[in-house]
Structure 1
């Protein structure tokens, strides 16, 4: 594939990531916010009511992961092609997306297990509670946020340093990294009852750490789709990034 084709494919994959990610938020709003995290019996009833919604969220996540792998692979290739000196950054992009998708796949399995157990003739409340506690730190708190920060930071640095993306996108990525890291300590708040804003079960960390990376991915995708390869090559040669001066 040519660089232009890779840029288009990577850009559309980034668009897919954003679409599949944002499509899940309305589905999470369908849950009853009054249910307690520790109430396994009520949680099983809610999982039974929302079982199709839960499976749809898992499916959207799987589609997001496919798009994410294509986006990371394309961006890594573009970084290496622009300047082999930054091959380590490209490798870090691929490694971090692999870990990110790996841990969130575990969370998908746990969440899907909620719906499967809820359909049993006699659901086990302890199963619901255990699976819920198992995926909270991955979905809503520290684990995913740390890996997301690493991915966005490596991608933002490597793409800007080699001229694949404009220099200002580096600072947008760094801002997303800082907000992701700001959400990491939320795990110390525990799954508070009732659910608060800044804890492992609250909406605060989700809003703080999810939307800034989405903004960077949207910006990167639009630029990859609209920015001609000739402009990228000129930017890389003229900025000094492509010559390893920074």
Structure 2
């Protein structure tokens, strides 16, 4: 039986592990940096092609075909892309993980406090780093939302950094949040990764059905989430890095080496 590439094999315990921390684990990324770079370039080309030939015809077809009940149903689905709920939950789990690890509490669930701290920190880091990337792209690209085309015939780009809510379509922040959660949960629980990704894809579809975004907006957001989540995962989940198991104000402190 071959091992899952996302399941980290157990290695030797790391130095400076907090009390109650498990043996260090090695996280292995499924692709090399070169493959990730090629995938990123392919995504950029696909998004560009969609913007030129697919985005607008697809939006027009959706506007003509989707009924009001379907539109209202997908409005509810889109609520799963609200990032605030996930950030609050991840922060709560991170605090519980650190406190439980430091005090040696017994965890009633089948998860160590170290794993809880690392997993929730990966969620927070993915939300923060990718969210910043999405925000910068939104402000700098300043793409007109679909509603501007249907109301005023505007399809294209506006003035960069204008802060207009009607010119921040690219990329989709709701789609990014949904896929960031799905990617992180898929890394932590590989057996359920496709379920998480399917739910995130439903959020992306809702942004199209509700005419909040174009296809290339949601494609790019999903790609950024996948890339950011897998780039950060080794630096948070790999047992050779012990900073995630320390309080944030001690992240940059030197580890306590064992006495000889």
TM-score, structure 1 normalization? 0.32
TM-score, structure 2 normalization? 0.30
The structure that is helix-richer by fraction is: 1
Larger radius of gyration: 2
Higher relative contact order (Cα pairs below 8 Å, separated by 6+ residues): 2
